[in-house]
Amino acid sequence: MEFIDPNLIPARTLYTGAKMPAVGMGTFGSDHAAPEEVSAAVAGAIRVGYRHFDCAACYGNEAQIGEVFAEAFSEGEVRREELFIVSKVWNDMHGQGDVLLACAKTLKDLQLEALDMYYVHWPFPNYHPPKCDVSERNPDSRPFSTERFMTTWRQMERLVDMGLTRHIGMSNMTIPKLEAVLPLCRIKPAAIEMELHPCFQQQELFDYCREREIQVVGFCPLGSPDRPERDRTPEDIADIELPEIRRIAESHGIHPALVCIKWAVQRGQTPIPFSVKERNYTANLKCVTEDPLTSEEMEVIGGLERDNRLVKGQVFLWPGAGDWRDLWDLKGTIAGAG
């Protein structure tokens, strides 16, 4: 097993001054990697030099990952303060009083006293069961409401006050939603997690966050080749199969996946690639320590934007909604808000 010195991995500075490693490891098994398989990969990743882990209650594996963290600390492999550990409150725990309970459960499962970052996973209280298919709809689903979101966010802020998380963040947001909630935040989000890969660069949202000192964390950085069936449509483009990406990969003698990771880190976001294979997760971390992309290559990849959102979120639609585009406020106003 190779060890990549964590000091060689670029770090992002949050507005608090805290550092966040610019590559993290994803832990969503896309409904097919079992919790034990993911936690074994986390154990291997700590040994390889990963120091940032993107967890979530809804991934159904925090208890197994918590065992791995506890063992790594007790064996002296790594100290708690060397890791940047993230989790997310799931959509069925947004209500008054629920966020503290959700965070407590996550802390118990991960065997931690506090998190480094706690995100609101989705900005709606709309729940879908694990492993559901694309046609699943919950009749209780509702559109975004600033008031409801702030009920959740006020509880997130209290978690910071209580020392249960050092930072709070949001995920799957849009500019109209941020415009509505940011002025109301007592504690502003330190990071926003969003889908980002060469065919889906969200340049406007990316710039919006950076202008406000909010770090951008990118999920599905490789185009999530093994994503669940519910997140696949025939029009989707496979980033790692694009001729431009393959050509750049060939000229560096690397897998196209690594081109996506190098691009992400050099552009300024923090990718959180997932893998259960030691060879892959090692390469995903190591690639940012050597042989950077040239500015011409960065420009070529910058030109690959295809507006190809993969995680469209159909399962979160509310009764009366149009199609998945309503979740993303494409008309510039918050769809369904009343």
Q: Which amino acids are annotated catalytic?
A: 59
277 binds ligand NAP (CB under 6 A): yes
Is the CB of residue 110 less than 8 Å from the CB of residue 66?
yes
For residues 186 to 205, the per-residue mask of contacts with ligand NAP, x marking binding by CB under 6 A and - elsewhere, is: -------x------------
Residue 6 or residue 271: which is nearer to ligand NAP going by CB? 271
Site for ligand NAP in 147-186 (CB under 6 A): 171-172
The region, left, alpha or beta by phi > 0 then psi within -120 to 50, assigned to residue 193 is: beta
213 binds ligand NAP (CB under 6 A): no
Distance CA 286, CA 3 (A): 9
Query: Cβ neighbours of residue 107 under 8 Å, at least 6 residues apart?
Result: 113, 114, 115, 164
Distance CA 167, CA 157 (A): 9
Among 21, 28, 176, 245, binds ligand NAP (CB under 6 A): 28
Termini Cα distance of the chain:
55
Residue 141 or residue 172: which is nearer to ligand NAP going by CB? 172
Among 20, 27, 293, 327, binds ligand NAP (CB under 6 A): 27
Is the CB of residue 200 less than 8 Å from the CB of residue 308?
yes
Site for ligand NAP in 56-115 (CB under 6 A): none
Instruction: With contacts defined by CB under 6 A, name the span among 110-118, 201-209, 215-223, 294-302 that binds ligand NAP.
Output: 215-223
Distance CA 42, CA 55 (A): 10
Query: Cβ neighbours of residue 203 under 8 Å, at least 6 residues apart?
Result: 305
Instruction: With contacts defined by CB under 6 A, name the span among 133-141, 243-251, 278-286, 323-331 that binds ligand NAP.
Output: 278-286
51 binds ligand NAP (CB under 6 A): no
Determine whether the annotation assigns residue 121 to a binding site. Answer: yes
328 binds ligand NAP (CB under 6 A): no
Distance CA 292, CA 10 (A): 12
Residue 235 or residue 296: which is nearer to ligand NAP going by CB? 235
Distance CA 125, CA 140 (A): 9
What is the amino acid identity at position 34? A
138 binds ligand NAP (CB under 6 A): no
Pick out the residues of the known binding site for substrate.
Answer: 121
Please report, as ranges, the residues that interact with ligand NAP according to CB under 6 A. Answer: 26-28, 30, 54, 121, 171-172, 193, 219-227, 255, 257-258, 272-277, 280, 283-284, 311
